[in-house]
């Protein structure tokens, strides 16, 4: 097994609980790090595939109360006018509620006044949307659209969905990058948690003569081995279900089951391997 290259040696080992237990003595620290990187890259591939296909994402998930100003008292301000060639035309209108304000085609003085207030507000000029959440806390993005009749919206949810879509179109690359960074942090964190914590607990048996795990490095190596097959299954589930949370659960539960299977097959002892 030592004569095989690292990728082939690892792939052969993860298919057999007994070979997995042997692997604990063969991996070097740099190989352990490399394998963790490769396994996380496997998880990242379906995530990239999934996120680049995202067509909408709620502003409320990034900014708390991001769309709070759009409600049944204020949404009517946006149910008039039209968007042509990325430009809005309509009537000046202002609506307010306890949650916030919506101003359509206000003059510059009104815009500057609103920007000094604490009340959440949405301002629609001819070419821009401005979300305002307090002094010096604003999000500005262009108006998008060709031949959109705003009078067709019959519900407040339709208005909210359209405004959110306008924000997403302007910030799609940033949102996708944000989602990918969050997913990467979750995957790496989950892998390190399993490997380091699992390796620590496995290394606690090193003073016992009943088991043949002799160091923290051997415990970590065994955990990296047990991480392999569940990670590949998690990556496959990512392409099918497109759920990072499901992928994390498959990886975590699968790794724990692999540790149990290795113990069942070897009792963490080398003689049983040599005898079979």
pTM: 0.84
Q: Which of 151, 170, 189 lies at the terminal end of a domain, its last residue?
A: 170
- In a domain, residue 58? The reply is no
Residues 97 and 139 in one domain: yes
Q: Name the domain count of the chain.
A: 2
Q: Supply the range of the domain harboring residue 202.
A: 6-53+176-275
- Long-range contacts of 125-134, Cβ-Cβ distance < 8 Å, separation of 24 or more: 125/88, 126/87, 126/88, 126/89, 127/86, 127/87, 127/88, 129/163, 129/166, 129/167, 131/59, 131/63, 131/66, 131/167, 133/63, 133/65
Q: Do residue 119 and residue 49 come from a single domain?
A: no
* 252 and 216 part of one domain: yes
pLDDT score of 274 more than 50: no
Task: State which of 112, 138, 170 marks the end of a domain.
Answer: 170
Say whether pLDDT at 259 is over 60: yes
Single residue among 170, 194, 224 that ends a domain in this structure: 170
Residue 153 within a domain: yes
Residue 251 domain-assigned?
Answer: yes
- Read off the pLDDT of residues 236-250 as tens digits, 9 standing for 90 and up: 999 999 999 999 999
In a domain, 1, yes or no: no
Residues near 164 by beta carbon (within 8 Å), at least 6 away in sequence: 56, 58, 59, 67
Query: Which pLDDT tens digit goes with each residue over 81-97?
Result: 999 999 999 999 999 99
Nearest to 79 by CA among 17, 174, 158, 180: 158
pLDDT, one tens digit per residue, over 141-152 is 999 999 999 999
């Amino acid at each position: 097994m030592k004569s095989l290259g690292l990728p082939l040696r690892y792939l052969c080992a993860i298919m057999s609980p007994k070979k997995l237990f042997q692997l604990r003595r063969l991996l070097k620290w740099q190989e352990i790090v490399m394998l963790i990187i490769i396994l996380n890259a496997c998880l990242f591939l379906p995530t990239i595939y999934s996120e680049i296909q995202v067509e909408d994402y709620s502003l409320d998930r990034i900014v708390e109360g991001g769309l709070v100003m759009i409600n049944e008292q204020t949404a009517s301000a946006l149910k008039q006018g039209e968007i042509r060639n990325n430009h809005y035309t309509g009537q000046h209108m202002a609506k307010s509620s306890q949650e916030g304000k919506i101003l359509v085609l206000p003059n510059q003085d009104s815009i500057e006044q609103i920007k000094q207030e604490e009340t959440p507000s949405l301002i629609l000029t001819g070419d821009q949307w401005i979300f305002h959440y307090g002094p010096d806390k604003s999000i500005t993005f262009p108006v998008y659209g060709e031949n959109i009749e705003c009078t067709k919206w019959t519900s407040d949810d339709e208005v909210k969905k359209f405004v959110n879509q306008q924000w997403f179109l302007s910030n799609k690359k940033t949102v996708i990058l944000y989602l990918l960074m969050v997913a990467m942090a979750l995957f790496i964190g989950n892998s390190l948690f399993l490997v380091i914590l699992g390796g620590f607990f496995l290394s606690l048996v090193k003073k016992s003569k009943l088991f043949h795990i002799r160091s923290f490095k051997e415990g970590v190596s065994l955990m990296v081995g047990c991480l392999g097959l569940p990670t590949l299954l998690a990556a496959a589930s990512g392409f099918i279900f497109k759920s990072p949370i499901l992928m994390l659960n498959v990886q975590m539960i699968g790794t724990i089951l692999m540790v149990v299977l290795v113990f069942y097959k070897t009792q963490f002892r080398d003689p049983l391997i040599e005898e079979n």
